[in-house]
């Protein structure tokens, strides 16, 4: 019997989540998953932070929280506390010009922000996205119907930031384009601009009247310091830029499945905040009506309870420290095998952009059962002291095979 849906083609698997399904289907006993950007302990287990456990007890037992619908834009206390983490002291000087709404983690924040741009910016406005970037940036633009182009970001020849290419491409973009920027710990490269380069980027965006759209998914994972990691964003705010900012608590709180984040619109005038908020709420209402409560309440309790906030900062620094330790151990293991990859230590955050090509990646997956994305990105958070030499041996083998 024919179906109304029989001509619908199967969509390709997501390059990251599809890889995870492939990993789960692999029966090899010593398989290693370095594809998904999720923190793991030294034992390879998911981590629930102690501050989260304590906050969940408060949410469950205080009698202050329930399962009623949240406001369309999320609880005010949650949004205000999220602002403070992201924008720091600029909340005191510029906060009345911020509009922050709760969103479905970073992805939801990006989607609401892109729909806002599509609806209210001039027709033909183009979003410029780094090459490479997180694949979902392009997916979201496509789904919303926003044109996008790439700007050069990373040189595979030097395994470093292509700052000259970046500046040339942003300069060549039509005035008042949207420039998507990663606040810190760039995904997938782990290569961030220096403070002076960030200032040059800001100068050029000001000159071209471009609008920055910041994606902040890894605050705290670059340096272990929340304030330091957000400094590029705060610099733009201090300089008076109007911008959009997507914030995710998936990684730094370990709340991957709770889908907790925010979208903030930073304007130059307090007078526009009310209409901007009303339009963001309209977009949210048409998409998912209102945001989820449990993760928002848990996050809110941590951010508004001084002792839990300090405990979170300590635990976050510990996660960032373990990732950096894995980076150092991998670099040393590669050097011991005659592989000189200085870029491993030059990069920061959860990922290392190894420089392996797709054929070499296939050797790691098919022969060694080590799963990573086709562009050579590995999640250092998925490594352990035990698996670092296993990965180094596999890389050595892949490089040797490619030279045969």
Calpha distance 213→223 (Å, rounded): 22
Give the alpha-carbon dihedral of 286, 288, 261, 277, to 10 degrees. Answer: 30
Rounded Cα distance between 3 and 301, Å, is 50
Cβ(296)–Cβ(79) under 8 Å? no
> Whose CA is closest to 171, among 151, 194, 156, 186?
151
Q: Is 215 a catalytic residue?
A: yes
Q: Report the residue count for the chain.
A: 404
Is 198 an annotated catalytic residue?
no
234 is catalytic: no
Helices and strands (H and E) in the chain: how many: 17, 13
Catalytic residue (one of 162, 169, 192, 215)? 215
Cβ proximity of 368 and 13 under 8 Å = no
- Which one of the listed residues 97, 192, 229, 251 is annotated catalytic? 251
What SS3 class is residue 20? helix
3 state SS of 249: coil
Q: Which of 134, 148, 234, 312 is catalytic?
A: 134
Task: Give the position of tokens 């797709």.
Answer: 358
Opening angle at CA 39, ends 386 and 232, nearest 5: 125
Rounded CA-CA distance 391/379 in Å is 12
Q: DSSP per residue over 158-182, as a string?
A: TTEE-HHHHHHHHHHSPTT-EEEEE
- Residue of 274, 235, 229 whose CA lies nearest to 248: 229
* Separation of alpha carbons 361 and 376, rounded Å: 6
The span from the CA of 195 to the CA of 236, in Å, is 12
**DSSP secondary structure string for all residues of 26-70:** ---TT-EE-SS-----TTS-----HHHHHHHHHHHHSSS--SSPP
Q: Which helix (H) or strand (E) holds 243?
A: strand 243-248
What's the Cα-to-Cα distance from 224 to each of 247, 318, 356, rounded to whole Å?
17, 8, 27
Going 81 to 85 to 87 to 91, the CA torsion angle's sign is positive
Residues annotated catalytic, as ranges: 134, 215, 251
């Amino acid at each position: 019997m024919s179906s109304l849906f029989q001509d619908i083609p199967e969509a390709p698997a997501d390059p990251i989540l599809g890889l995870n399904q492939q990993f789960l289907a692999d029966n090899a006993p010593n398989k290693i998953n370095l594809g998904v950007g999720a923190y793991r302990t030294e034992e390879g287990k998911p981590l629930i932070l102690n501050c989260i456990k304590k906050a969940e007890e408060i949410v469950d037992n205080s009698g202050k929280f329930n399962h009623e619908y949240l406001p369309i834009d999320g609880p005010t206390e949650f949004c205000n506390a999220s602002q403070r983490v992201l924008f720091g002291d600029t909340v005191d000087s510029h906060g009345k010009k911020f509009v922050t709404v709760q969103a479905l983690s970073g992805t939801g924040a990006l989607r609401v922000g892109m729909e806002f741009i599509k609806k209210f910016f001039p027709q033909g406005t183009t979003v410029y996205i780094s090459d490479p970037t997180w694949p979902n940036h392009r997916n979201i633009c496509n789904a919303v119907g926003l044109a996008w182009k790439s700007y050069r970001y990373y040189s595979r020849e030097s395994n470093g930031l292509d700052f000259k290419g970046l500046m040339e491409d942003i300069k060549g973009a039509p005035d008042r384009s949207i420039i998507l920027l990663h606040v810190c710990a760039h995904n997938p490269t782990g290569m961030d601009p220096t403070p002076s380069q960030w200032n040059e980027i800001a100068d050029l965006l000001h000159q071209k009247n471009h609008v920055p759209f910041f994606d902040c998914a890894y605050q705290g994972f670059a340096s272990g310091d929340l304030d330091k990691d957000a400094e590029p964003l705060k610099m733009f705010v201090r300089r008076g830029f109007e911008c959009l900012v997507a914030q995710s608590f998936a990684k730094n709180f370990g709340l991957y499945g709770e889908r907790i984040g925010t979208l903030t619109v930073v304007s130059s005038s307090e007078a526009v905040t009310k209409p901007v908020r009303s339009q963001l709420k309209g977009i949210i209402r048409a998409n998912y009506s209102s945001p989820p409560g449990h993760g928002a309440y848990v996050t809110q309790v941590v951010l508004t309870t001084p002792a839990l906030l300090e405990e979170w900062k300590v635990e976050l620094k510990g996660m960032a420290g373990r990732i950096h330790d894995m980076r150092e151990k991998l670099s040393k293991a590669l050097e011991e095998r005659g592989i000189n990859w200085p870029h491993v230590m030059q990069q920061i955050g959860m990922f290392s952009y190894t420089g392996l090509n797709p054929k070499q990646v296939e050797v790691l997956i098919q022969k060694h059962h080590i799963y990573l994305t086709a562009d050579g990105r590995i999640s250092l958070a998925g490594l352990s002291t035990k698996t670092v030499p296993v990965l180094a041996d596999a890389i050595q083998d892949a490089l040797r095979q490619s030279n045969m």
